[in-house]
Structure 1
Amino acid sequence: MLSINNENKQNQPDESRLAVVHSDSLTMLLEGVARIFEVHQPLVETYYGPEYVLTLAEVLQEQCDEEASHILDQFVQNRKFNVKYKLIDKYGRSSTAKINEKIDLLELDQVLSEVALLQTRTELYFRFIKRRVANGLRVTAQNFVEKSSVTEKVPNKEKIIILEKLVRECRLGCRVQELIGRYILMEEFYTRETLSKAVELNAGGDDAGSLVDDVFYVVRKSVQRASSSSNVDCLCAVVNNACALLETDFYHLLQQKLKNGYPAAGSLAEAYTTATAYVSVVHQGKIPAPYGTDSAEKARSDFLATLNAVDSAAECIKGLKETLTHEIEQNFQQSSLSGDEFSIQETRQMTAKVDNCCSQLVDLAAKFENLAFSACDQLMNVAAKQRLKLIAERFADYSHILDENQFNEYEASDPFMEYFVTTLDSLLETFRKNLSDNNYDQFFKFVADETAKQLEKTIFKCSFNRLGALLFDKQVRELTAYYSGHHFSGGGGFAVREKFSRLTQTASILNVDTLSEAKEFYQSSSTVAWRLSAQDVKKILQMRQDFGSDENTMSDVPKPAKVERTSRFCSQDGFWGKRAAIVCKNVQLARPNSSTKTGHGFLISWDDDEAETNFKKLQCGRMVSERCDDVLNEFSTPFIEKPELGDDE
């Protein structure tokens, strides 16, 4: 009795395998055919020759196609695969069409997983057949070469073509390829609908990070399922669809949230909010949603959460690309294990397709990073710019014409630096706690850049003596150390020091003892990439009140030696300019003279190939470059004779 019960249990189907029963059936069939091939291949090679292994594969494949077709027919019928496909196809063809019969996304998920599994098993079987037949053909080719008396051409390439045609055009291959073609459309529908549900569920929530997790869980699942199918074309199509959905729906959703902006704090902002609420009461006769301090605080929190979500999305896309690359190496590396020319060529083609596919993920991640970059800039302008201006203006409240006692007091305890550090720490504390590391680093760099710009404007309102210049130099070094001491990703400390380079050079010029020393220092420092023009140097030296009246005549300040280099001329109409400007460290741009008719003449100087590369585009009287935000003040320069252009110009 016990044995009968055990036998009944063994005959009962495993419920855990019911969702993939058709793929299991196909797997058993293909494994059986593979075993038959393994058993008979040595016999055929021994008694008929290795070249007849292809004939054995053709005979077995004909029987395999017959049995596999029955299994696939049962799959299509039992899973209502074609019915689901027609509904989805109808929905996709018309934007106004609605699916009358609701599709269960959970059921569709199981069907798609089984299709991917069917493709995986079929692809594995085809690789086995191709590897076995290719090995037999390679043995045949070696035998032909060893028999010198045989003059017949080795039929290796012709046999390879027949083998590829057998795999591509057999009934099993055609049926599975048909399923995969429909699978791609159904996978796109599944991904889109699931993403829509995820966005809908998080529509009223404050946790934007949860939305990112849900969205990329769906995307990662779809991409990994396509990757497991071992079909490169299928994988690339699914990745393309996923990138399109992320770039349109998800990206635009986050972008729209960021467009609402970060509400500014202060009485003016609160007054505007109150006025808006009053207008709503007058015109609509009802009080709007909660407003005032609470709503503004919620808007700020939502903005920061969305900004973090954008950064998290960029990181998720990068992680998806790395995971995808790793899985591709695992799933497709079997194609080249045999080492034959056919497999190696096939692997190269797959690698090229996958690389092109992954490049889309790289571009998409860069797009999200650019959105976060712009949002951080917006955040700095709204939340920090005005306060940084007030901090910088506080610098002018302290005299920099000092005696020994005052200098010693400031050196022991600098009230401006204490005020600066305390105020800035208070300003940054909220963002330090609520922003992600990448966003806070970028925001902090914007704050550093704005601090340097505001201080540059303020110091030209001040006057200095020798001790005051020494104090200013100490303050600049402390400012630079404060900013560069914070954690930055990707060498941000160096970037911050670059932002304060003009202030550092200003402090160096202010600390000269005489005007002649300033001239010598400015002209002879050929190793320094000067960010200050000659006109800037004149203004800086004029702030030194302890220079005599004769020394304050700055008309003879020369250009630095760094600027005097071979020049090249580019002009649209052949006119020459007599004014010049320093652009981004080491590029000299001659602006048009007032006497020119069109004003399209340019004089460009550089001393390295990088400058030439970055500033090679000229358009309609303007210099165009990717980052040309460091244009400094103009200064006079003598007329330069037209140089002789080389052939490369």
Structure 2
Amino acid sequence: MATDYFFSGDASQLSLEKLRSLTNIEEIQDCLRILDLEENQVDVDLDILLERRGQLEAELDKLEALRPQLGALSLQATNLMSIINGTSNVAERISAQVRQLDLEQSRVQETIEEVENVQELKLCINRMHSAMQIRDYEAAASYVHRASALDPRILNGEFAENAVPTSEYPDVPTKMLSDAKTSLFSVFSKEFEAAVQSRDENNISRFFRLFPLIAIKPNFYADALTKLFENIAVIIDQHHPVVETHYGAGKMIRVLERLQEECDKQSRIILNTFGDEKQLMRKVADIRSYNNTPRRVIVPPHRTGGQSREITPGQSRDIENMPDTREIDALLTELAMISQRAHLYFRFMESRVKSEAEAMKINEVDVSLEKSTDDYNPNNFLNNSGLMKQIKHLISEYFFIEEYFLRRALEQAIEIDKVEEGNSTSSCVDDVFYILKRSAFRAVSTSNVDCIVTMVNVVNQCLETEFIKVHQKRLVSAFTSNEAKDAKLSYMILLNNLDVSCDYIQRLASELQQDTIRTLAPLPEDHENCRKAQKSLSSLSESSTNKFKQILQSGLEQLFKQLVKPRIRPILQEAYKDIKYVLNEDEYHDQESNDNFAKRFVNGFDSLLHIYKLGALRFDKDLRAKVQLLEIHDYWGSSTKSGNPITWRLTITEARKVLGLRIEFKAGDVANIKL
């Protein structure tokens, strides 16, 4: 009977040693047949090659005929290269001279601009001094504002320090501007106080408009409003005993009414000037236009070094025209401060009106004259005031601007997101929660419970749209957009981001609750508002944490499916190879003695987890040490009372028996272990 290679028909397998070993006539005949077939095939191949010989020789002759032409082309190419090199050198020299001329021209232009700026600075300072001498405060403040708007590099430059001072004013420009601001602020303050005392609305409005030009205080309007409230409170405290003594209990309410009317007038001047100076309406219009612009955002998978975001050209122009987020941040801070000061004032007035209204009812005092008694109810008294209406309007604008600030700042944090080497999370987590913390604490500082509740809803929405959805999209596309190694790293960083975000949002909610208690709880009237705010903040922690945990759990399951499950499946397939569960008695005893499944699975699983083996042993040992210490303290205290302490250490034989009970340790390894 012939072997398999005889029947295969492959003569390459017939070695000389195999042929010499043949003894069977059938095998010899088969080999001869195979060799005959191979010989015929070789003859056919040789005939084909010989037939193509003429064609190949003709092709070679054509190539040989092209040799002279190629030599000429090579010579021409060499000449052309030398010409090009010469031209290139000339062009390089010319372009270098042009670049040098451009550099000199740019430097000359910069010098001209600096000279013009220094001339502008000198002109402003000279005219500022002249205006101050003739008490033209509007012109003086305008020149201070123009000079302060110049580049700080010009103001502090050596050229300006040498060119601007004169024999009459020898100080450096920055010193002269600082002195002028201090002097003007002192004058404006005195004139403003005089205008308030004389109730000169024109001068009050005039000097209110001049204070921002000298930029002496960033929160000037909030401070001015505070001073107004403080003056009213002082008047009430000083005159209440006099009115009650001479006119009787309950008569002070008419004084409160008149003071509130005056407060409405003065606060309207302050707040209107604030809105004009800060261009509040223009900013709101710009934000509304930006929000109405259709935009398309593409969030690519996360990768180190940040990510790109695609926006429409129309939105790009809108972003360039939008106010800077730092400017918006300062505006929101002052709005929050105004709301806080107004809230304290309202609480003060509410308590005074309430006490006077109760005195009216007790003593049956008729002070209505022009109004019904219901109009002196504390709620109606303040809710109908002009100040309350203006504050409500400002708070509504505050919501609108704060939401834009929060969304825009979160977008910027996502845009510049990157992973620093050695970090387990990306930069956007810290950036996002810093922004959220700043906005949320600012809302709490307003002392307005409706503002706090609304801000919690805004934070929830922004987290979901600007942060959670971005991470969801990155998790979905992580394994499809990156290489395997980068995909695993990016995916685990995203999971870490979500895990850390759970802790951050809980910590943020806890800190906000504590700050809310500090802000609202001291006032008895605000206890109910404080409970309402606390409930809203609890919902922030619960809802956001649940969303983070859901996505995190889904991501972990996806990670298991992508990375762990494909590696466990082959281990199980190998372990279950030739394993049967329909057995007779002999097969059962055979499998019981060999235990192939357990051995194969342990070996395969060990190979999968071998990199964690030593760490797991170390963790197991440390955990056992902690448990042992706690058990000893629980039952015996820090030391035993008897003279002979109990021995807790196992003998070597006992230790080997314990290790032998664990299926992941081989018997040979346990026997050879050094204890």
TM (norm. structure 1) is: 0.52
CA distance in 2, matches of 1:400, 1:140: 101
Residue number in structure 2 paired with 1:333 = 521
What does residue range 6-405 of structure 1 map to in structure 2 within 5 Å? 11=183, 13=185, 18-95=217-294, 99=318, 101-137=321-357, 162-202=377-417, 208-262=425-479, 295-336=483-524, 343=525, 347-349=527-529, 351-352=531-532, 354-356=534-536, 358-391=538-571, 401=589
Supply the distance in 2 between the matched residues of 1:167 and 1:8 (Cα, whole angstroms): 42
Tell me, yes or no, if the aligned pair for 1:51 and 1:136 is still in contact at 8 Å: yes
Kindly indicate whether the alpha-carbon contact (under 8 Å) linking 1:137 and 1:159 is maintained by their aligned counterparts in 2.
Answer: no
Quickly say closer, same or farther: Cα 1:190–1:306, change in 2 above 3 A: same
Letter in 2 for 1:371: I
The CA distance in 2 between the partners of 1:476 and 1:51, in whole Å, is 89
Which residue of 2 is the match for residue 441 of structure 1?
A: none
User: Alignment partner of 1:114: what SS?
Assistant: helix
Contact 1:134 1:160 survives alignment (8 Å):
no
Q: Read off the aligned partner of 1:183 and give its amino acid letter.
A: Y
Q: Which amino acid aligns with 2:388?
A: G
Give me the whole-angstrom Cα distance separating, in 1, the residues matched to 2:556 and 2:589.
38
State percent identity of aligned pairs.
25
Partner residue, 2:50: none
Structure 2 distance, partners of 1:163, 1:198, is 46
Task: Give the strand-richer structure, 1 or 2.
Answer: 1
Q: What amino acid does structure 2 have at the position aligned with 1:192?
A: R
Summarize the Cα distance change of 1:53–1:425 in structure 2 as closer, same or farther, 3 Å threshold.
Answer: farther
Deviation of 1:224 after TM superposition, in Å, equals: 1.1
In the TM superposition, residue 23 of structure 1 has moved relative to its aligned partner by: 0.8
- Inter-CA distance 202–7: structure 2 relative to 1 (3 Å threshold): closer
Q: Structure 1 or 2: larger helix share?
A: 2
| CA distance in structure 2 between the partners assigned to 1:159 and 1:41 by the alignment | 22
Instruction: Please state how far the C-alpha of 1:329 moved relative to its aligned partner.
Output: 1.1
Segments of structure 1 that go 5 or more residues without pairing to the other structure are 145-149, 264-288, 337-342, 433-470, 479-649
Query: Structure 1 residue 256: deviation in Å?
Result: 0.8
Long gaps (5+) in structure 2: 1-175, 187-213, 296-313, 367-371, 580-586, 617-657, 666-675
Are residues 173 and 423 of structure 1, via their aligned partners in 2, closer, same or farther at CA, if it must alter by over 3 Å?
same
Deviations 1:188-231 (A, max 9, x none): 11111111111112279887521111112112211111111111
Contact 2:240/2:252 (CA < 8 Å) preserved in 1? yes
Change (3 A) 1:476 1:246: same
Equivalent pairs, count:
384
Deviation at 1:386, TM superposition (A): 3.5
Query: Alpha-carbon deviations, 1:265-286, whole Å to 9, x = none?
Result: xxxxxxxxxxxxxxxxxxxxxx
Q: Distance in 2 between matches of 1:428 and 1:260?
A: 29
* Deviation for aligned residue 1:372: 0.4
Q: Counterparts of 1:172 and 1:425 in 2: how far apart (Å)?
A: 70
* Counterparts in 2 of 1:17 and 1:418: CA distance versus 1, 3 Å: farther
Mapped partners of 2:471, 2:400: distance in 1: 26
In structure 2, what is the Cα distance between the partners aligned to 1:297 and 1:383? 11
Partner of 1:598: none
Structure label with greater radius of gyration: 2
CA distance in 2: counterparts of 1:431 and 1:220, whole angstroms: 38
SS at structure 1 position matched to 2:251 = helix
The change in CA–CA distance for 1:13 and 1:430 in structure 2 (over 3 A counts) is farther
Alpha-carbon deviation of 1:391? 4.7
Contact 2:419–2:427 (CA<8 Å) still a contact in 1? Answer: no
> TM-score if structure 2 supplies the norm length?
0.50
User: Is the contact made by 1:317 and 1:365 (CA closer than 8 Å) also made in structure 2?
Assistant: yes
1:88 Cα shift?
Answer: 1.4
When residues 476 and 51 of structure 1 are mapped into structure 2, their CA distance, relative to the original with a 3 A threshold, is: farther
Structure 1 pair 205–41 and aligned structure 2 pair: CA distance change class (3 A): same
Using the TM superposition, give the Cα deviation of residue 179 of structure 1 relative to its aligned residue in structure 2, in angstroms. Answer: 1.1
**Structure 1 position 420, deviation (Å):** 7.0
Structure 1 residues 230 and 138: alpha-carbon distance in aligned structure 2, compared to 1, 3 A threshold? same
Q: Counterpart of 1:88 in structure 2: which amino acid?
A: I
